[in-house]
Copies of this chain bind each other. A is one copy, B any other.
Amino acid sequence: MKKRAVVLLSGGLDSATCMAMAKDQNREVYALTVLYGQRHAAELEAARNLACLFQANEHRLVSVELGQFGGSALTEDLPVPKDGKPSEGRIPITYVPARNTVFLSLALAWAEVLNADEIWIGVNAVDYSGYPDCRPEFLEAFQKLATLATRTGVEENRTPQLIAPLLHWSKARIIQEGTRLGVPYERTSTCYDPDPSGRACGQCDACLLRRQGFEGAGIPDPTLYSGGAPDSS
A contact set with B: CB distance below 8 Å: 60, 62-66, 68-71, 90-91, 95-102, 104-106, 108-110, 112-113, 132-133, 135, 137-138, 141-142, 144-146, 148-151, 153-155
Contact = CB atoms under 8 A, between A and B. Distances in A.
Count of identical protomers in the assembly = 2
Contacts of A137: 148
A132 B149 contact: yes
Contacts of A102: 102, 105-106, 109
B64 A106 contact: yes
Contacts of A109: 66, 69, 96-99, 101-102
A97 B101 contact: no
Contacts of A148: 132-133, 135, 137-138, 141
A183 to B, nearest CB: 27
B132 A112 contact: no
A63 B66 contact: no
Contact of A62 (B64, B132, B153): B64
Nearest to A109: B98
Given A62-B65, A65-B63, A68-B60, A151 B97 contact: yes
A149 B137 CA distance: 9
Given A144-B141, A149-B132, A150-B97, A155 B68 contact: no
Contacts of A144: 141, 144-145
B63 A63 contact: yes
Contacts of A71: 112-113
Contacts of A106: 64, 66, 98, 102
A135 to B, nearest CB: 7
Given A69-B113, A141-B141, A98 B150 contact: yes
